[in-house]
Structure formats: C-alpha cells, structure tokens
Chain A
C-alpha cells in the first residue's frame, strides 16, 4: 500500500486545498503534531500557525491557518479553519504593512495573524 493520506484543507467559505500527501505538520494547542498515513484517529484544536503538507509528488504546500481543527480518520485528514490561505496566495508586502499597523495599534491578534502569514510565505 502506498503510504498516502488524503488531505482536505477547508476554510469556512471555500475549499482551499485537497490532494494526497505523505506527511502533514500542524500546530495544535498542545504543540506541533505530525500526521503520517495510518495515524490513529485524531481530533485536535489548532493554534493559528503555518501548516505544512508534504505532497506525494514530493512537493510542499504551506498554508497559514488561523484557528480551527484537525481531524484524522480512515487515512483522511481534514483541516478545518475559519481562515486559511495557501502561501502562494499571501501578498507579502501587504502583510508586512498589516504587521506594522498591528504593532502600532497594539492589536495582538492581528499581529499574530500577520506574523503567521509571513512565516507561511517565507516557508514556501
């Protein structure tokens, strides 16, 4: 059996990414977790952070995920996020501006969001 798992990355209003992968690394509230094919059924709460998906073609997909859940069963992994963006969709310059603005206004949540986006964009 090919060691693959099916990944669905869905945001509240759209499906962001779906495909086969060999490894998915995401950040839960109790730390980073790596899921490989055949993992035991899992349901966890995600922190906002970058999610790394190693696809079966050997590529890497990075997405910025802001809050949500990870659920894995029957070799099917679902990442549910209220907001999720693939690293290619992130506009670095705009995010940097957002980060500066968030820092200036002392908006911790916005600062964290922008930071996660930038890290995801840097990892691509």
Chain B
C-alpha cells in the first residue's frame, strides 16, 4: 500500500472513532434534555403557588419588608451567574458570562458595587483566569440540580441581602441564567430577584386581571412574609438552575450534532481522496507494467534483428 493511501486510511479511522463518541454524546444530551424539561415542569406547581402567595401578602397587606422595599440609594448588588460544570456546549457558557458582564457593567455605571456569585466550574474558571473577585462559588451539581442545591446557593445570598449595607450586605440581587425557550432556542438573560417588584409578580400570578382574595394571615402578615420570601428566592433560583441545566443539555446536543455532521463530511472527503490515491496507485502500477512489458518487447525485438 502506498504511503499516501495509508495516511488517509488512518485519518478516516480516527475521525470515525471521534464521530462515534460525538454521536453518543449527542444522544445522551438529548435524553437528558427531556429529563431536565420534566423536572422544570414538575417544579412549576410549587413556583406558581408560591408566586401567588407572595402576591397575596404583598398586595393584601401594607407590610413593609426589607426584601420588598427598594433602598434609597443602593450601593451594592449581588449577581448570581449560572454556568455549567462541563463545556462542549457551544456558546452556552460564553453567552451566560457575556450577559453577566454586561449586567455588571450596567450596575457599575449606576454606581453600585457588584459581588459576583457563580454556579458552575466554567464560570469560576473564566473569572479566576481574569483574576476577578468571586464572592462565592458552587460547583458539582449543574447537570442535575436538586432543591437542596438551590437552597445551598440561596442561603448566602439571602444572608447577604438581610445584612445591613454598611456591614457588607447587598441591596439588590440579580440572577443571570439561560432560559430554555425551546429545543433550538436558549437565551441568556438577567433578572432582578430582589427587591421584589410586586406589580410584576402580580402580573405573573394573575394575568387575567383576577382579583386576589383578602387573606387571613396566620400568625401575622409580617411573619408570613418573613417565611415566604426566602422560599420564593429559593424556588426562583431552583427554577433558574433547572432551566439552565435543560439549556446546557440542549446546547450540548446541538454542538454534538454539528460535530457528528462535520465528522461525517470529513469522512466522505477523506474517502474520496483515499479512493483517488488508490486509483492513482493502480494506474501507476499498470503504466509501470505496460512500460516494462513494452521495454522488454523492444529489447527482444532488437535482439531478433
């Protein structure tokens, strides 16, 4: 076998092996998207009911709470950025990070100091590489986040927001995550979690202009709100984590699909080249034989004379 042909054969073999791997990863990601979507759906009843309850307390009572009132001049904001632990997901992580950077820039322009909290190794690596300060980071659960993970993430944030600003607390809490719109579309977006914009929450809970009943609070409106708001934040973070996970798997699936397609194309091109090389080799051999035979024939013809 010619050297050229051998090189082509070897490359085809290695590309096919890669293709098999990316194909497998694509299928794993596809099954995980479905699972993650199901988890998002399963968490929805709790989130809706909680939102309803928050609206009920917020609009049905005149309670003032540190988590619903805006600070006069906010000086510090916390940004929670959700990325994934693993890459191979196309632009998923860079989009989320870019959105977080834009938000940080905007907040800093408004004169707020920004504390960054990060979920996922990718985001942590990005910030560490640029030597930016991370207030706190959480890793190891981004593929399948549980409610306990959401609580773990929410705890320091709630603590920070409840602390006085002068003692290092924050006035605002923003979250940057990737919304799962559909299998093909996932958008990185930022949202302000706290202080709560009650009118927005109300619009979400009762879109049809439904009037909420006048509730009786047990034990009191303040206590209910006190207990409710941290749970609300946790549930919002949990929802964002789940959406982020679903988006990550969808992005991985898409990236792996195009990798598989590219590998297939490469194999086609290489096979054509290998065929051409083989054909060239055969042609050369034939012409050598023919050339040799005619040289022999010429030589014998010469000796006859």
Report which A residues bind B (CB closer than 8 A): 8, 10-15, 28-30, 33, 40-45, 68-71, 73-74, 78, 80, 82
Tell me whether A78 and B223 are in contact (CB under 8 A).
Answer: no
User: CB-nearest residue of chain B relative to A78?
Assistant: B49
CA of A68 to CA of B213, assembled, Å: 20
A11 to B214 Cα, complex, angstroms = 25
Describe B's contact surface by its main secondary structure.
helix
Output the least CB separation between A106 and chain B (Å): 21
For chain B residues 216-245, which have a beta carbon within 8 Å of chain A?
216-219, 223-224, 227-228, 231, 234-235, 238
Stretch at the interface among B51-59, B125-133, B259-267: B51-59
Asked if residues B45 and A43 are in contact (CB atoms below 8 Å), the reply is no
Kindly list the 8 A-B residue pairs having the minimum CB-CB distance in the complex, ordered from nearest: A44-B218, A41-B213, A12-B147, A73-B213, A43-B215, A30-B219, A10-B45, A41-B215
- A28 contacts which chain B residues (CB < 8 A)? 218-219
The 8 Å CB contact of A14, one of B42, B53, B218, B224, is B42
Q: How far is the CB of B50 from chain A (nearest CB, A)?
A: 6
- A15-B42 CB under 8 A given contacts A40-B216, A43-B217, A80-B53: yes
CA distance A123 to B53 in the complex (A): 29
The residue on B at minimum CB distance from A12 is: B147
- Cβ B219 vs Cβ A44 within 8 A: yes
Report the Cα distance A50→B219, complex, angstroms.
Answer: 19
Using an 8 Å CB-CB cutoff, how does the interface string of B245-276 with A read, 1 for contact, 0 for none?
A: 00000000000000000000000000000000
Chain B window 26-60, contacts with chain A (Cβ cutoff 8 Å), 1 for yes, 0 for no: 00000000000001001101100110110011000
Within 8 A of A (CB), among B75-125: none
Min CB gap A83→B, angstroms: 8
* Bound complex: CA A14 to CA B44 (Å): 8
Interface check B146, CB cutoff 8 A: yes
Q: Are B216 and A30 in contact (CB under 8 A)?
A: no
Bound form: Cα–Cα A121–B213 in Å: 35
CB distance from B213 to the nearest CB of A (A): 4
Interface readout for B132-151 with A: 1 if CB under 8 Å, 0 if not? 00000000000000110011
A12–B218 contact, CB under 8 A? no
| CB nearest neighbor in A for B238 | A12
Asked whether A69 lies within 8 Å of B227 as measured between CB atoms, the reply is: yes
Known: A43-B217, A45-B219, A82-B231. 4 other contacts (CB 8 A): A8-B49, A14-B43, A44-B217, A69-B53
Select B46's contact among A10, A29, A30, A74, beta carbons within 8 Å.
Answer: A10
Residue in B49, B151, B218, B238 whose beta carbon sits within 8 Å of that of A30 in the complex: B218
Is B201 interfacial (CB 8 A cutoff)? no
Q: Are B215 and A73 in contact (CB under 8 A)?
A: yes
Chain B residues near A33 (CB, 8 Å)? 218
- How far is it, in angstroms, between the C-alpha of A71 and the C-alpha of B181 when the chains are bound? 31
Question: Which residues from chain A contact B198 at a C-beta distance below 8 Å?
Answer: none
Q: Is the CB of B56 within 8 A of A71?
A: yes
Smallest CB–CB gap between B223 and chain A, Å?
6
Please name the residue on chain A nearest to B226 by beta carbon. Answer: A45
Contact B43 A71 (CB under 8 A): no
Interface CB pairs A-B, < 8 A, 19? A10-B46, A11-B46, A12-B150, A12-B234, A12-B235, A13-B146, A14-B42, A42-B215, A43-B215, A45-B219, A45-B228, A69-B224, A71-B53, A71-B215, A78-B53, A80-B231, A82-B147, A82-B151, A82-B231
